[in-house]
Amino acid sequence: MKYLLNVKNLNSEFVREIQAESKTRILHCYQCGKCSAGCPIANEMEYKPNQIIRMIQLGMEESVLKANTMWLCASCITCTVRCPREIDIAEIMDVLRRYAFKRGIFPAAVADIPVFNRIFLRNIKLFGRLYELGLIGFFNLLTGNPFKDVLLGPKMFFKGKINLIPERIKNASEIKDIFKRSAEIEHSD
Amino acid sequence: MKIGVFVCHCGTNISAVIDVQKVVNDLAKMPGVFAMDYKFMCSDPGQNMIISEIKQKKLDAVIVAACSPCLHELTFRNTLIRGGLNPYMLEIANIREQDSWVHTDRDKATEKAVRLAKMAVAKAKRNQPLFPQEVSVEKSCLVIGGGIAGIQAAIDISSAGYQTVIVEKEPSIGGKMAMFDKTFPTLDCSACILTPKMVQASQSKKVKIYTYSEVEEIGGYVGNFNARIRVKARSVNMEKCTGCGICWQKCPVKVNSEFEQNLGPRKAVYVPFAQAVPNVPVIDCVNCTYYRSKRQNPESKGLCRICEKFCPAGAIEFDQKDKIIEEKFGAVIVATGFSAFDHKVYGEYGAGRYKDVVTALQFERLLNSSGPTQGKILRPSDSKEARTIVFVQCVGSRDESKGVPYCSRVCCMYTAKQALLLKEHIPDANAYVFYIDIRAAGKNYEEFIERVQDEYGVLYLRGRVSKIYRTGDGALLVRGADTLSGTQVEISADMVVLATGLVSNPETVKLGQMIGIPYDKNRFFTESHPKLAPAETQTAGVFICGACQFPKDIPDSVAQAGAAASKVLGLFSQEHLMLEPVLACVNQKICNGCFHCRAVCPYNAIDEEILKDKSVVARVIESKCHGCGNCISACPVSAVDLKGYTNEQILEQLQSLR
Amino acid sequence: MKYAYYPGCSLHSTSREYDMSAKEVSTRLGIELIEAPDWVCCGATPAHVTMHVLSQALPVKSLINAKQTGADTMAVCCAACFSRLKIANYHVLNDPGKKAKINRAVGAEYNGEVAVKHLLEILAKDFGLENLKGKMTAKLDGLKVACYYGCLLVRPRKIMQFDDEENPTIMDAVVETTGAKTVDWPGKVECCGASFSITKTGVVLRLCRDILQLASDAGAECIAVACPLCQSNLDLRQPEVNKKYDKKFDMPVLYFTQILGLAMGIDWKKLGLDKHIVSPLKFLKGKNIIK
Amino acid sequence: MEEKKEKNGFEPRLVGILCRWCSYQGADLAGTSRLKYEPNMTVLRVPCSARMSPLFLMKGLTSDIDGILFSGCHPGDCHYISGNMNARRRFVIFKKLLEFAGMEPERIQMSWCSASEDKKWADIVDSVTIEVKKTGPNNKFK
């Protein structure tokens, strides 16, 4: 008989790592489910937020990182402010995303979200500010939906809402340096 | 000074590791010391040996080098008494638990035994005879709080023949239990089992009840407490009033009734509920037209006065004043109960803005056939019958973020009961219960929950509710989760009942500081020992029972009330009390009046005394002192000392290790 | 009254009308907003979900630049930027370890000397509600507004220190100085899906439908917002919501600054009221608020 | 005396001043459980850790004692409500003063030990003994 939860597959260090990085007491969770009850996106999630917390407690690293839950988190922080045990669930989701990002683990179903994040950040790295047209264009190209939201484009353009040329800040090279040093610091941690 | 050292072999428990003979020899070399050994010092022949040596050698103090003082200190103190010595001339050197049992090296263990015995000798040299103090006992008990716990304690003490006084701040005794509809798990009607007790207490010659009263001050010590009680002006003469009820029928002022949890009206002159004891109304000065007009224009005759006009007994007395009563008591029982958690801090549940989100206590009143809706489940906003009701557990319990980390213990059970009663009132009603864990640890409790789920079909959903809000059609939308199925749950309800937790009474801190009962971080009173002394407190002669110690259901409160009463009776069965003589004392010649000692004393046992030269110095109230020695360490001029553990004794002990 | 001003990327593009109206209103009130020189994007959600240090370093860079304006407080309009800037400041002030890393990444010394305030706070607290009331020339009596705060202004309260996290009232108070009536509704702090507008449009449509429904159930005629993300989701996606869920919402989503501007008699074109997808013009004309 | 000066084989004289409610009973329990620990510490019983006056530290350290341990109930468990907290405050201040005067911190220690912590008691005694052994004989106040 195959047990889904087998101590051999569990990473008992996982909870400690996530706990240390998020500075929140994951082992303190008593599974009341209030986070999942109030989550605006829980419906779309493979595992509900409370289940993710439970899985971290158990050390189910692989299942947690492969789930779409953290990528669907909208960072609305409702879970954190209502948690009776003062666990910062939103921060845990952030930590998990960074943890997965470092290791390059992205579940296929939500692969477009990290892609979006990457393009967004590259945008800022280049110009110091966001260039929406470039962002949306690149994103659609990379996710294979070149015509998504294409109907909204002209509407917004005629209302003077889209810049055709990106805004640049004067010292864009400074921003590149910040990106570089941040990456170094993250890496050394 | 002649000191006898008696070294015990304890069979081989000690002698197997320690060279007893060497200990005896080493000690006997000390000046003024006589030493000997014996197989079992605690046995009768052993004790008799000590007695005969005391008499023969004219010993002034005795050292027993044997097992821990925790075991046989009392035994050997009695031996000393039998030998004609003051029992406090005894010292024990613990050479078994802290020597022979924990070491293996014979030389080192023996050496340590010698050190321990010599240290005891050093202390004993400075020992003084101590005498327990004797105090009388005033055989009357003050019970603060007239809920079920207070009433039960008063009945128990009075039926043993002792005087009891109940002080209750509300106009009637009965407490929270009087508000309940039925009680779990037997579904007895709460009033049916409480009212007879209230009547029994009020009719007993040995019980005096002060309602609408508060304890303002308590001083003194075990056996001899002095209490000052303020009996607030009722504006109604208790002797003249017959409780006929004409005044409150005629009174034109309607306000929300506290007893009905603001769901129903009461008049400005009122009894909180029909079976109130005493059945005498009070006038609520804040809302009464007469008092309001008098406040605006003190010169006028005052408006309204309808109650006065109609009272057939002439019992209305507008000019009544508060009365102060001073009485002496030998013991105090604190039974001040709990408050219901105020859910205003739950913004996500509407913070009290939605009328149809009610508390459990409000729902009790709605269920009650003598309540504001005569037992119909009508929702407060539009008085329509509520057919879908959601119960939300743990509101103000197990919630650190709201400052209430503990479990309130009774909510699981009362919620199940309320859901059951709802189903009995409206069989086709929908009842949903959101819970985290069901805690039903009590006789027949688990079976009760089972019945509610199986027979009555109440649907239990495992998860905390995240948000409650009102939708356009006036219904309440409850957003929760069921973690067992891993789904979000949304229920459109007519009414939501919050299972509000039990929190400490707001007066706890003030009262605790006044009487000297410590309270925990949740402001519940702390018992003297969590297992072995659950009704006692740190202050001798003061006892606690009921929910002022921690949330409790009725059977537990009643049981603890009985326990507190039996402790009081034990106290009252003594003519005199003997108090332990290990107490602090002040050398008033040295004391500089800085009162650092008073600042650290946990028992308020330090008082001021003015000497003939007008200087203010400290004095120890011996009956309050517990002998911890905190004041001694705090004294900058070494004016305070602890009998039995004086600075001199301890320094001598340290010196002996040289 | 002088403040450094952080518009944020959205106010320079998709939410130009917020920038325009905020500046117009401030000028009328004598509040000087000096754009922080060379401000940088706050990094928004993509930064804090990918690289922790970067997500703090970018806002700190802008805060350092803001010092050049000579003001000790930075005014922010976008709720998302406000949240990122405030969180960065919080870490700099409360976590020496993080502060050291951030400063290393930015390559400068920053000790949290620039305070971050949302324009709502500046109007309600620094300028004062009574003073604000005095500046209103055209009363908007009869306008029923649902004030929508969204997530990031109020959460988490420990860091934001903005208003009650379940039932905030500061925007209601500011909007009510115009004579308009705000409705008590349960959708104030619901989430609109924010950053998923592009990646998970379906989620955003569902959430926006709920918010629009709650507002219209409460009797609101328009929604007031203080966040360009909320605005663009509720406004831009409204036609799609109507299509997908078979609804007929025609709910203008206005920035609170636009409402204030109208009550101060500022020309609607200067407030950018022509830039909305769900045009408020017909509705406002019907109410006799604009000609 | 001469032997004692040598670091090797140096057997320190230690005194433990214990509150009678928690630590002393914990030490008793270590005996009942037949745990084994170093025999260097002689125990002196007082009612409460709050009875532990700085005077005792001075006396001990000038009386040829190499190390002193104060031990009381855990915070919140004090038989006399909060005596242990008072004791700790006094201890911390006085220890700093002694350290300032040049006394090695290993010689003056404080611990919480409950009546049920027999193992902890044995560990405390062993660790204090080892630390003072490493520090060597006390001759600072000679």
Query: For B419-445, what is the mean pLDDT?
Result: 96
From CA D30, how far away is CA D121, in angstroms rounded? 7
Which residues neighbour B430 within 8 Å (Cβ) at sequence distance 6 or greater? B387, B388, B389, B459
What pLDDT does B463 receive?
97
Residues of C with CB below 8 A from A106's CB? none
Question: A84, B398: Cβ pair inside 8 Å?
Answer: yes
Question: C191, A139: Cβ pair inside 8 Å?
Answer: no
Question: C167, B470: Cβ pair inside 8 Å?
Answer: no
Query: For D104-125, what is the mean pLDDT?
Result: 92
Select from B554, B547, B336, B534 the least CA-distant residue to B442. B554
Residues of A with CB below 8 A from B483's CB? 31-33, 36, 48, 50-51
Say if residue D1's pLDDT is above 50.
no
- Encode pLDDT of B13-69 as tens digits: 999 999 999 999 999 999 999 999 999 999 999 999 999 999 999 999 999 999 999
Q: Which of B463, B480, B503 is the last residue of a domain?
A: B503
Parse chain A into domains and list their residue ranges: 10-105, 111-188
Q: Going by DSSP bridges, is the β-strand pair B254-256/B265-267 parallel, antiparallel, or unpaired?
A: antiparallel
Contact A128, C40 (CB under 8 A): yes
Residues of D with CB below 8 A from B116's CB? 42-43
From the options 3.40.50.2300, 3.40.50.11810, 3.20.20.70, 3.20.20.10, give the CATH code of C134-286: 3.40.50.11810
Question: A178, C199: Cβ pair inside 8 Å?
Answer: no
Name which of B343, B469, B477 to mutate to probe chain C: the one with the most chain C Cβ atoms within 10 A of its Cβ. Answer: B469
Show the CA angle centred on residue A19, arms to residues A13 and A21, nearest 5°: 105
Query: For C149-166, what is the mean pLDDT?
Result: 92
Q: Are residues B211 and B162 in the same domain?
A: yes
* CA gyration radius, chain D: 15
- b vs e for B434-470, b when ≥16 Cβ sit within 10 Å of the residue's Cβ? bbbebbbebeebeebbeebbeebebebbbbbbbbbbb
Domain with residue B110: its CATH number is 3.40.50
Say if residue C96's pLDDT is above 80.
yes
What pLDDT does A144 receive?
64
Contact D16, D129 (CB under 8 A): no
Contact B658, B597 (CB under 8 A): no
What pLDDT does D5 receive?
46
Question: C52, A160: Cβ pair inside 8 Å?
Answer: no
Supply φ then ψ for residue B18, to 5 degrees.
-105, 135
Domain range for B175: 140-334
Q: Are residues B259 and B118 in the same domain?
A: no
Q: Are residues B391 and B461 in the same domain?
A: yes
What pLDDT does B521 receive?
86
Q: Is residue D45 in some structural domain?
A: yes
Q: Which of A34, A48, A83 lies at the smallest CB-CB distance from B486?
A: A48
Q: What percent of chain B has pLDDT over 70?
A: 100
Per-window interface: A 36-75 vs B, CB < 8 A: 36-39, 42-43, 47-48, 50-51
Helical residues (DSSP H) of B226-331, grouped into ranges? 246-250, 289-296, 306-310
Supply φ then ψ for residue B166, to 5 degrees.
-100, 130
Q: Is residue D54 in some structural domain?
A: yes
Specify the number of domains making up chain D: 1
Say if residue D34's pLDDT is above 70.
yes
3-class DSSP string for B453-494: HHCCCCEEEECCCCEEEECCCCCEEEEEEECCCCEEEEEEEC
| Element (DSSP H or E) covering residue D62 | helix D54-62
Q: Are residues B201 and B251 in the same domain?
A: yes
D2 — pLDDT class (breaks 50, 70, 90) = very low
- Other Cβ atoms less than 10 A from the Cβ of B474: the count is 12
Q: Is residue B387 in some structural domain?
A: yes
Question: B401, A85: Cβ pair inside 8 Å?
Answer: yes
What integer best gives the mean pLDDT of chain C?
Answer: 93
A174 touches chain B (CB under 8 A): no
Show the CA angle centred on residue B190, arms to residues B184 and B192, nearest 5°: 130
Helical residues (DSSP H) of B131-266, grouped into ranges? 148-159, 190-203, 246-250
Domain range for D92: 12-134
Task: Give the DSSP letter string of chain A.
Answer: ---SS-GGG--HHHHHHHHHHHTS-GGG-----HHHHH-SSGGG-SS-HHHHHHHHHHT-HHHHHHSSHHHH-----HHHHH-TT---HHHHHHHHHHHHHHHT---GGGTHHHHHHHHHHHHHHHHSS--HHHHHHHHHHHTT-TTTTTTHHHHHHHTT---SS----TTHHHHHHHHHHHHHHHHH-
From CA B366, how far away is CA B375, in angstroms rounded? 6
From CA B362, how far away is CA B260, in angstroms rounded? 7
Instruction: Return the higher-pLDDT residue of B420 and C46.
Output: B420
Domain with residue B636: its CATH number is 3.30.70.20
Q: Which of A116, A128, A155 lies at the smallest CB-CB distance from C198?
A: A116
What pLDDT does B516 receive?
77
- Encode pLDDT of D74-99 as tens digits: 887 787 878 999 999 999 988 888 88
Q: Is residue D126 in some structural domain?
A: yes
From CA A39, how far away is CA C194, in angstroms rounded? 14
Task: Give the DSSP letter string of B532-598.
Answer: TBSSB-SSTTEEE-GGGTS---HHHHHHHHHHHHHHHHHHHT-SEEEE-S--EEE-TTT--S--HHH
Residues of B with CB below 8 A from D50's CB? 600, 628-630, 633
Question: B472, C186: Cβ pair inside 8 Å?
Answer: no
CA distances from C44 to B142, B567, C83, C154, C255 (A): 65, 66, 9, 16, 20
Q: Are residues B404 and B327 in the same domain?
A: no
Question: B348, A38: Cβ pair inside 8 Å?
Answer: yes
Q: Going by DSSP bridges, is the β-strand pair B224-231/B254-256 parallel, antiparallel, or unpaired?
A: unpaired
Say if residue D7's pLDDT is above 60.
no
From the options 1.20.120.350, 1.25.40.10, 3.60.15.10, 1.20.1050.140, give the CATH code of C2-118: 1.20.1050.140
Closest residue in C to A160 (Cα) is C275
- Encode pLDDT of B481-531 as tens digits: 999 999 999 999 999 999 999 999 999 989 988 887 888 889 999 888 778
D4 — pLDDT class (breaks 50, 70, 90) = very low
Q: Are residues B85 and B182 in the same domain?
A: no
Query: For B250-258, what is the mean pLDDT?
Result: 96
Say if residue B157's pLDDT is above 90.
yes
Closest residue in A to B468 (Cα) is A38
| Element (DSSP H or E) covering residue B331 | strand B331-334
Specify the number of domains making up chain B: 4
Parse chain C into domains and list their residue ranges: 2-118, 134-286
What pLDDT does A147 receive?
61
Residue C246 region by backbone torsions, left for phi larger than 0, else alpha for psi between -120 and 50, else beta: left
What pLDDT does A136 receive?
73
Contact B84, B139 (CB under 8 A): no
Q: Which chains touch C (3 or more CB pairs under 8 A)?
A: A, B
Q: Are residues B169 and B296 in the same domain?
A: yes
Q: Are residues B343 and B330 in the same domain?
A: no
Which residue stretches of chain A have pLDDT < 70?
1-4, 133-134, 137-138, 141-158, 160, 162, 164, 189
- Other Cβ atoms less than 10 A from the Cβ of C114: the count is 23
Residues of C with CB below 8 A from A74's CB? 151, 191, 193-196, 203
Question: A169, C38: Cβ pair inside 8 Å?
Answer: yes
- Other Cβ atoms less than 10 A from the Cβ of C181: the count is 17
Question: A74, C51: Cβ pair inside 8 Å?
Answer: no
Q: Does A10-105 carry CATH code 1.10.1060.10?
A: yes
Domain with residue D28: its CATH number is 3.40.50.960
Q: Is residue B44 in some structural domain?
A: yes
Name residue C169's amino acid. T
Q: Which chains touch D (3 or more CB pairs under 8 A)?
A: B
- Encode pLDDT of C99-124 as tens digits: 999 999 999 999 999 999 999 999 99
| Element (DSSP H or E) covering residue D3 | helix D2-5
Question: D42, B119: Cβ pair inside 8 Å?
Answer: yes
What pLDDT does C165 receive?
92
Report yes or no for ipTM above 0.90. no
- Encode pLDDT of C179-235 as tens digits: 999 999 999 999 998 778 778 889 999 999 999 999 999 999 999 999 998 998 999
What pLDDT does A84 receive?
96
Select from B456, B445, B372, B462 the least CA-distant residue to B422. B456
Q: Is residue B572 in some structural domain?
A: no
B474 touches chain C (CB under 8 A): no
D6 — pLDDT class (breaks 50, 70, 90) = very low
User: Which residue is it, tokens 């003077």?
Assistant: A160
| Helix axis angle, A112-127 to A172-188, nearest 10° | 130
Q: Which of B400, B488, B489 lies at the smallest CB-CB distance from A84?
A: B400
Residues of D with CB below 8 A from B653's CB? 44
Q: Are residues B499 and B376 in the same domain?
A: yes
Q: Which chains touch B (3 or more CB pairs under 8 A)?
A: A, C, D
Residue B320, SS3 per DSSP: coil
User: Nearest CA to CA, how far is C92 from chain B (Å)?
Assistant: 25
3-class DSSP string for chain C: CEEEEECCCHHHCCCHHHHHHHHHHHHHHCCEEEECCCCCCCCHHHHHHHCHHHHHHHHHHHHHHHHHHCCCEEEECCHHHHHHHHHHHHHHHHCHHHHHHHHHHHCCCCCCCCEEEEHHHHHHHHHHHHHHHHCCCCCCCCCEEEEECCCCCCCCHHHHCCCCCCCCCHHHHHHHCCCCEECCCCCCCCCCCCCHHHHCHHHHHHHHHHHHHHHHHCCCCEEEECCHHHHHHHHHCHHHHHHHHCCCCCCCEEEHHHHHHHHCCCCCCCCCHHHCCCCCHHHHHHCCCCC
Candidate from A16-25, B91-100, B460-469 with smallest mean pLDDT: A16-25
Question: B629, D48: Cβ pair inside 8 Å?
Answer: yes
What pLDDT does A152 receive?
66
D82 touches chain B (CB under 8 A): yes
- Other Cβ atoms less than 10 A from the Cβ of B576: the count is 11
Q: Is residue D141 in some structural domain?
A: no
Query: For B640-650, what is the mean pLDDT?
Result: 94
